[in-house]
Amino acid sequence: MSKLAIIGGGNAAVIHAESSRAVAGVQLIGIGGRSLGRARRVAESLGCEELTVAEAVRRADMLVVAVPPPDVGEVLAQIPPDRALIVESPVGVDSRCDPADRPNAMLGANLLHAPIPRRGLAAVNDLGEPHHLLLRANAPRPAWHTAGGPHSGVTLDLGGRLLPVLLAAAAQPVVEVSARLNLQGGVDTAAELELRLSDGRLVRARLHWGGGPTTANLEAASGNAVVSLDLWPSPVLEVDGAETASDGSQQRLHALGFVSQLRRLAAVAANRATAWPELSSGFGTLRIIEAARLSARSGRVQQLD
């Protein structure tokens, strides 16, 4: 039996805690943060202990770090580098962590583990090299967000969580980034990103904090077919306008990949699998986000090494 502890006390922590109940061989032993009291009510509602970071590190075999981006570096500094863990995206830009030193750390990219999105990415791959690839997303401004500074903006919030899916669909390295940002009080609340791939194609992302429900969709097209993949609120795959797969009847945390992601983490903790996606991919996404901000400020395309 693998023992799981979750560091954090917000919605993301609760989602991971609830997902753990569906993973055989995993026992949730606690949830908490840097000091006792912050997550007591959440821990009681989940029927587990409230733990400090030090207690979680001492007692658990595997960890989920689900704290706001500004706090990620401080938490990771307290966790041994070989520990099996998930760092929920977006990863803080000043995280005191060299991903190369954490071979058992996974980026929290649940949609890459989700059944229908995985089928959708395979369908995009079957298009060959689609001439059209677009990610669209809208969500309310998150509670963890603070005004200004490196941890702000829709490019970090929605971009940090959804760009890994777009990059998986692109299947090529990004070499150039250009962006237009809508700023309110110095914070980007809407963004249009253009990413040039190493094969010369352009892929795009349109991200927005606004009213209405949270939605996310990936659209790809070649000369022969069109693939539309709804990522949120419920995964749905359409090819040439016909629905081919839907997880509407499946338990939501399974459908969105949270259960499969924890199952992978348990296998990593037991030395039966390697960490995927690697934490370094989250830092690669941050490079794109930072390049987008520089492009918007300067009005020039930014090159990536």
Spatial CB neighbours of 171, under 8 Å, sequence gap ≥ 6 = 125
| Distance of alpha carbon 26 from alpha carbon 62, whole angstroms | 9
pLDDT at residue number 211: 82
pLDDT at residue number 28: 95
Are residues 29 and 53 in contact, defined by beta-carbon separation less than 8 angstroms? no
User: Tokens standing for 16?
Assistant: 């991971």
Are residues 28 and 48 in contact, defined by beta-carbon separation less than 8 angstroms? yes
| Distance of alpha carbon 205 from alpha carbon 194, whole angstroms | 7
pLDDT at residue number 93: 63
Q: pLDDT digits over 131-150, tens only?
A: 999 999 999 987 666 655 55
| Distance of alpha carbon 105 from alpha carbon 49, whole angstroms | 24
Are residues 13 and 31 in contact, defined by beta-carbon separation less than 8 angstroms? yes
How far CA 27 is from CA of 42, 59, 67, 261, in Å, comes to 17, 12, 21, 15
Indicate the pTM of the whole model: 0.91
According to DSSP, residue 146 is labeled -
Question: Which residues of the chain are under the pLDDT cut of 50?
Answer: none
For 246-305, give the secondary structure using H, E and C: ECCCCCHHHHCCHHHHHHHHHHHHCCCCCCCCEHHHHHHHHHHHHHHHHHHHHCCCEECC
Q: Which domains does the chain have, with CATH numbers?
A: 2-110+258-277 (3.40.50.720), 112-256+285-303 (3.30.360.10)
pLDDT at residue number 148: 53
Are residues 257 and 116 in contact, defined by beta-carbon separation less than 8 angstroms? no
Supply the DSSP string of 59-72, one letter for each residue.
Answer: H-SEEEE---HHHH
pLDDT at residue number 149: 55
| Distance of alpha carbon 207 from alpha carbon 157, whole angstroms | 9
Q: pLDDT digits over 225-244, tens only?
A: 999 999 998 899 999 988 77
pLDDT at residue number 94: 63
Q: Where are the alpha helices (DSSP H) in the chain?
A: 11-20, 40-46, 53-59, 69-76, 115-126, 154-170, 252-255, 258-269, 279-298
User: Tokens standing for 181?
Assistant: 């940002």
Are residues 55 and 34 in contact, defined by beta-carbon separation less than 8 angstroms? no
pLDDT at residue number 61: 95
Question: Is 183 in a helix, a strand, or coil?
Answer: strand
Measured between alpha carbons, how far apart are the two ends of the chain, in Å?
43
pLDDT at residue number 151: 55
| Distance of alpha carbon 293 from alpha carbon 276, whole angstroms | 28
Q: Within a 10 A sphere around the Cβ of 2, how many other Cβ atoms?
A: 20
Closest CA to 245 of 150, 98, 121: 121
